[in-house]
């Protein structure tokens, strides 16, 4: 378990390194910190997630387009590293990368300073899904799927080297860079070209049906067919490009909420090891 002293020391090291690289103004260095949160460990967050706002740079649907996250003082922060994972009482923060009913394949640039959101590319061309995604899609901050760790529950598959993905099933269409509070409901163990790519199914707390759904069975009752639709969408979206369908572990079925929370806890622990440099970061940005 990380202590407040450990967190402060880690944050101080990070600030010093970033300042030396000239990435942060002095007025911003004290605003951001790597947060190590554990059940029973109370920390005073320097960031207020309700004050975080997306800031666009460049024109959408261009190679240079980036969506940064800035705090109340206008300072850039990393949506992956600086936004606290936990929001209290079993609630988690969720960063929207792809709004529902859109097709541009947006994702956090894990190899760029401040890990802004950009449109993915392939062979120099912008990537799009072959059809719109029907849910808000994005990531859980402070999580990481370790590519060196084999998951015994899911065919020994290795992590995909990215934060954990979230499929948010609420009715509201969010915006790129929005920070929402969500509660997990289930998880799908997608296997994409041999890599484990978890999909946490969740709902935003501000959705009208949020109080009605608390576990996987509630999703089927109040959002009938949604879990099957999510699985089929992610199974098939690469087929139009001539690639094979993705597979799913754990019997091809969504897990319980308890199992989804286990996935979140384990991937948060992996992220902690990454930012503490217990695991080589490779090309990943820890800024």
| Cβ within 8 Å of residue 184, ≥6 positions away | 92, 200, 201, 202, 257, 260, 261, 264
Q: Which of these is catalytic: 129, 137, 237, 259?
A: 129
- For residue 237, indicate whether it is catalytic: no
251-262 burial code (b ≥16 CB/10 A, e <16): eeebbebebbbe
Residue 274 burial by Cβ neighbours in a 10 Å radius (0-12, 13-18, 19+):
buried
CA count, 13 A, side-chain hemisphere, 215? 6
The DSSP string of 208-233 is: TTGGG--SHHHHHHHSTTHHHHHHHH
- Active-site residue numbers? 129
């Amino acid at each position: 378990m990380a202590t407040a002293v450990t967190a402060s020391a880690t944050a101080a090291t990070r600030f010093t390194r970033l300042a030396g690289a000239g990435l942060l103004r002095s007025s911003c260095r004290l605003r951001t910190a790597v947060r190590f949160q554990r059940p029973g460990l109370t920390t005073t967050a320097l960031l207020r997630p309700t004050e975080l706002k997306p800031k666009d740079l460049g024109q959408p649907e261009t190679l240079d387009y980036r969506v940064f996250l800035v705090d109340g003082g206008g300072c850039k922060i990393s949506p992956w590293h600086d936004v606290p994972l936990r929001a209290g009482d079993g609630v988690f923060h969720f960063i929207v990368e792809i709004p529902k009913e859109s097709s541009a394949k947006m994702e956090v640039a894990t190899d760029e300073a401040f890990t802004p959101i950009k449109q993915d590319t392939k062979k120099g061309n912008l990537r799009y899904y072959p059809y719109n995604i029907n849910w808000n899609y994005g990531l859980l901050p402070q999580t990481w799927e370790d590519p060196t760790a084999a998951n015994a529950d899911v065919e020994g598959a290795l992590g995909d080297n990215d934060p954990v993905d979230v499929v948010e099933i609420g009715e509201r269409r969010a915006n790129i860079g929005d920070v929402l509070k969500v509660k997990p409901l289930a998880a799908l163990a997608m296997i994409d070209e041999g890599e484990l790519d978890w999909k946490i199914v969740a709902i935003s707390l501000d959705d009208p049906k949020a109080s009605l759904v608390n576990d996987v069975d509630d999703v089927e009752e109040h959002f009938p067919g949604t879990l099957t639709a999510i699985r089929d969408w992610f199974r098939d979206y690469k087929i139009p490009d001539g690639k094979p369908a993705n597979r799913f572990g754990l019997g091809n079925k969504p897990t319980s909420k308890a199992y989804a929370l286990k996935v979140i806890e384990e991937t948060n622990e992996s992220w902690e090891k990454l930012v503490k440099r217990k695991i080589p970061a490779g090309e990943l940005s820890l800024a």
